[in-house]
Homo-oligomer: A and B are copies of this chain.
Amino acid sequence: MNAMLDSFDDISRAAPEPIYLQIKNLVERRIDSGEWPAGQKLPSENDLVNALDVSRMTVNRALRELTQEGLIRRVHGLGSFVAEKPRHASLIELQDIALEIERDGGTHRARVLSLESVYASPAVTELMQLGEAAPLYRLRAVHYRGDEPLQLESRYVNPDLMPRFIEQDFSSVTATAYLLGQFKPDEMEHRVRAILPDRQTRELLRMSAGQPCLQLTRRTWKDGRVVTYATLTYPGERYELGARYATDEYQLR
């Protein structure tokens, strides 16, 4: 048996959540809290089977998915270990800029430029798959790391799906965090471009002339409808996107 397992929360079979997800969350919590630091050996599948009284296939699925997500790595014949590398800003994760900044030891602050109801332009109507022009909420905000502007956020939100979006105070909660609290996206799309900022963007991000920006656009779907379309613009001098993956089987095509 494994001493680490003494205080494991019980797994609920009354399934508010599938068991494999409960196991994933349990392991994630241990890792996030620092209780299991990088390199730490995890309990074996059999340990978990015994401690939680579930089937091995269920444990295996949980650990396999954590591997795919880069949180742990597994060595055949040896065991499972907390992944060495810290998490990067990743394109497949729905990254909350505040969490990202704070994880790197910075202080996040947001300044809301505007939060209003606007009428969708043809381009935005198309992007949000509205069928015809309709009112939308629009948020514009600058996110700072300390005193340094790091991201200009320009976001449209479908008011049918998120009616209370416009009432929020986005200087204390990021839009990403608010939206994540409201729904679980079932699909999203990212695009990354290099652009030259217009004058206003350059000033808001306090960039020197001629420097490029990294621009990430993200659309998020729920039940086949676009909930939000966000354009996130970063100063090229001060930001890069990164991701690191460990895989069982590479998805190459």
Q: Which of A's residues lie within 8 Å of B, judged by CB?
A: 21, 28, 32, 57, 68-69, 87-88, 91-94, 96, 99, 180, 184-196, 210-215, 234, 236, 240-247, 249-253
Contacts and interface: CB of A to CB of B under 8 A. Distances in A.
B214 A250 contact: no
A214 B192 contact: yes
B194 A245 contact: no
Contacts of A185: 247, 250
Contact of A212 (B57, B92, B212, B253): B212
B187 A241 contact: no
Which of A68, A186, A250 is packed against the most chain B CB atoms within 10 Å?
A: A250
A228 to B, nearest CB: 14
Contact of A243 (B92, B180, B194, B249): B92
B245 A188 contact: yes
Which of A93, A194, A250 is packed against the most chain B CB atoms within 10 Å?
A: A194
A184 B247 CA distance: 10
Nearest to A69: B251
A174 to B, nearest CB: 12
Enumerate the 9 nearest inter-chain pairs by beta-carbon distance, A residue then B residue, closest first. Answer: A212-B212, A194-B236, A194-B194, A194-B212, A189-B244, A194-B214, A191-B242, A94-B252, A192-B241
A28 B194 CA distance: 32
A243 to B, nearest CB: 5
Contacts of A196: 210-212
Contacts of A91: 91-92, 192, 243
Which of A88, A188, A236, A253 is packed against the most chain B CB atoms within 10 Å?
A: A253
Contacts of A241: 191-193
Nearest to A252: B94
A175 to B, nearest CB: 14
B193 A236 contact: yes
A88 to B, nearest CB: 8
A185 to B, nearest CB: 6
A180 B236 CA distance: 31
